[in-house]
Amino acid sequence: MTDFELVSLLREDDHGAYREIYYRYTGLLYAHAFSKLQDRDEAMDVVQEVFSTLWLKRSVIQFQLNISGYLYITLRNRILNIIARKKIQSEYLTSLQSYLNKASADTDFLTRTNQLRSIIEDEIIKMPVRMREVFELSRKNHLSHREIAEKLGISEKTVKDHVNNALKILRLKLGFFNYVIFLIFLKNFF
């Protein structure tokens, strides 16, 4: 069958015509894609996308050239899009690396530390009064459980329970990552 006949059948949803076009052109398109992308998987993916598009748009595509020209142009455009996307990604990664290497990373860290401190303070304020009082004496004033118990006239077990419950609340509210940072930098926050 000629390409013209295959295209006519393809427009009529003929799966056999589609398969014939696929087998006729997939090797050539793959070789071209691989020569440009230098990645076997990526080349096969882009060829598959071209054929998927051909099937999905079979009834609306206007073949002004021949089927091989259409497939080649579609492939070329997709390859150019991939190359442009890779270039943008590369530029972004270079820019990001440059940013991270600058001293402004310290400013960003301080900003995030202040934001985290504010979030922690808000969560501490929301705690029940006695729990908040015990937690602040433990973490801000660095008193032992025994000292807090004596100061407030409660048992050491109650102090321990209040501190543990306060830490559970913070862990839930802050999420695991921020909670770990909170524990590491606890002394710096207060």
Residue 16 sits at the vertex; the CA angle it makes with 43 and 77, to the nearest 5 degrees, is: 30
Tens-level pLDDT at each residue, the chain (190 residues): 788 888 888 888 999 999 999 999 999 999 999 999 999 999 999 999 999 999 998 888 776 558 888 899 999 999 999 989 888 888 887 877 776 666 555 666 677 777 777 877 888 888 899 998 998 888 888 889 899 999 999 999 999 998 888 888 877 777 655 555 656 555 554 5
What residues does each domain of the chain span? 3-100, 104-189
104-189 adopts what CATH topology? Answer: Arc Repressor Mutant, subunit A (1.10.10)
> Class of 3-100 per CATH?
mainly alpha
The answer to whether 72 and 65 are in contact (CB under 8 A) is: no
Name residue, tokens 């808000």.
Answer: 122
The answer to whether 172 and 120 are in contact (CB under 8 A) is: no
Global pTM exceeds 0.75: no
Q: Cβ contacts of residue 113 below 8 Å, gap of 6+?
A: 185, 188, 189
Same fold, 3-100 and 104-189: no
